[in-house]
Amino acid sequence: MLGLYVHVPFCSAICNYCNFNRGLFDADLKARYVDALVEEIKRAPRAAADTIYFGGGTPSLLEPEEIARIIAACTSSFDMADDREVTLEANPESVTQARLAAFKTAGVNRLSFGVQSLNDAELQRLSRLHSAARARAVVAEARAAGFDNVSIDLMMWLPGQQPSDWLATVDGAIALAPDHVSLYLLEVYPNAPLKEAMARARWSQAPDDDAAAMYTTAMERLEDAGLRQYEISNVARAGRQSRHNLKYWTDGEWLGFGCGAHSTRDGVRWKNVSATEDYIGRISRQASPAVDVRRLSPDERLGDALFTGLRLVDGIDLNAIDIRYGVDVWARFGGELQSFVDAGCLRHEGDGLRLTREGMLIAHEVMAVFV
Ligand code: SF4
């Protein structure tokens, strides 16, 4: 079944490290954008789908009625599974318990909060609008609003962050008893305002060895708390893995709606135009918002399946790959992969191929073999 991704490109303020497709909130632009989204979804060819993911930007800046309209467009254009997963990314400062309850009534059944840190100094360095106290409160409000599937995003390797600071955030996150946690490594882009702020204030990121220990210790603590790692950056309680994101890692198919959204279906990949006004203009002229439409070659499809599948803790089923792509992966790549097996970074057992936790630290080197 398809996953449906809906991009919402609005934020209340722009964070100093952000490289996503987003802009400042504007009520008039948002209203026209939601109309365009509904129109794009209505035009999609009918198919079965089981997940909807509102990502951004800050999707929680939309009104619950707008989210309800978009979900209704999905359910009328697609054969949506009864047990659909409907995720809304939300920033802690953008919601209240009443607003969360209204999102639930609108059809959202999973929340993903951009917590990032439970340390106020770190949140300020990242120019985030919320405090640690607000982040703690929002998880309790989500529970009170009836959500039984709550994820939080955390960022590590922050400027000026000591390993002990990071582990305090991890412990604080565990105390909130989330169902799912995503851990991201901060990447400071060359022209990010944060880079300049770091130079001015002499904030640096921890050395690589510390970063590796921060990652592995966090994973151990999360697993001890019952949150099993299932992907390089993700842990979840049993049955609470992100069904939508699993489509990206299990060679699935998805359609993206909205500006800058990507789609992959039937071996074709495309991307919608990035600029919000351009997107709205194309939809209102009945033109396609898609740019950059590409049929993937068999080797690209195989490479993607291996590259993304290796992100999963369970790794890749080489027999399934052989059936789908007619390629004996070990015969083709084994020569290059054996050194990673010998180094304890990769396990090749029967039809399985998976990274060890040490291997996850150098995943990009292993995956480079496939692309
Ligand atoms: S809230 Fe998220 S999408 Fe918006 S500017 Fe900050 S990091 Fe970027």
- Mean pLDDT for 257-284 is 97
Q: How confident is the model at residue 331 (pLDDT cuts 50, 70, 90)?
A: very high
Predicted pLDDT at 279: 98
Atom of ligand 1 nearest to the CA of 17: 7
Of all protein residues, the one whose alpha carbon is nearest to atom 8 of ligand 1 is 18
Atom of ligand 1 nearest to the CA of 127: 6
Q: Residue 22's pLDDT is what?
A: 94
Per cent of the chain over pLDDT 90 is: 98
| 112 CB within 6 A, ligand 1 | no
**End-to-end CA separation in angstroms for the chain:** 27
Predicted model pTM:
0.96
154 lines ligand 1 (CB under 6 A): no
Q: How many CA atoms lie within 13 A of 131 on its CB side?
A: 3
Asked if residue 234 has its Cβ within 6 Å of ligand 1, the reply is no
C-alpha 254 to ligand 1 mean position (Å): 23
Cβ of 119 below 6 Å from ligand 1 = no
pLDDT for 168 = 98
Q: What is the mean pLDDT of residues 331-337?
A: 95
CA distance 111 to 60: 10
With a 6 A CB cut-off, is 129 part of the ligand 1 pocket? no
- The Cβ-side half-sphere exposure at 192, using a 13 Å CA radius, reads 20
Q: What is the mean pLDDT of residues 6-28?
A: 95
CB crowding 128-140: b at 16 or more within 10 Å, else e: bebbbebbbebbe
pLDDT, tens digit, for every residue of 164-211? 999 999 999 999 999 999 999 999 998 999 999 999 999 999 998 999
Q: Give the separation between CA 149 and CA 241, rounded to whole angstroms.
A: 10
User: Among 160, 71, 174, 87, which residue's Cα sits nearest to residue 123?
Assistant: 160
Is 371's pLDDT higher than 90? no
Alpha helices in the chain (DSSP H): 27-43, 64-77, 97-106, 120-125, 132-144, 163-175, 193-201, 208-224, 243-249, 276-284, 298-309, 318-325, 329-342, 357-361, 363-367
324 CA distance to ligand 1 middle (Å): 38
In sequence order, the β-bridge partners of residue 24 are: 11
Ligand 1 contact, 57 CB (< 6 A) = yes
Query: Region 11-37: what's the mean pLDDT?
Result: 96
pLDDT of the residue at 127: 95
Q: Which residue's C-alpha comes closest to atom 2 of ligand 1?
A: 57
| Mean pLDDT, residues 266-288 taken together | 97
For atom 6 of ligand 1, the residue with the nearest CA is: 15
pLDDT at position 54, please?
98
Q: Write the CA distances from 73 to 2, 34, 213, 282, integer angstroms.
A: 15, 11, 46, 19
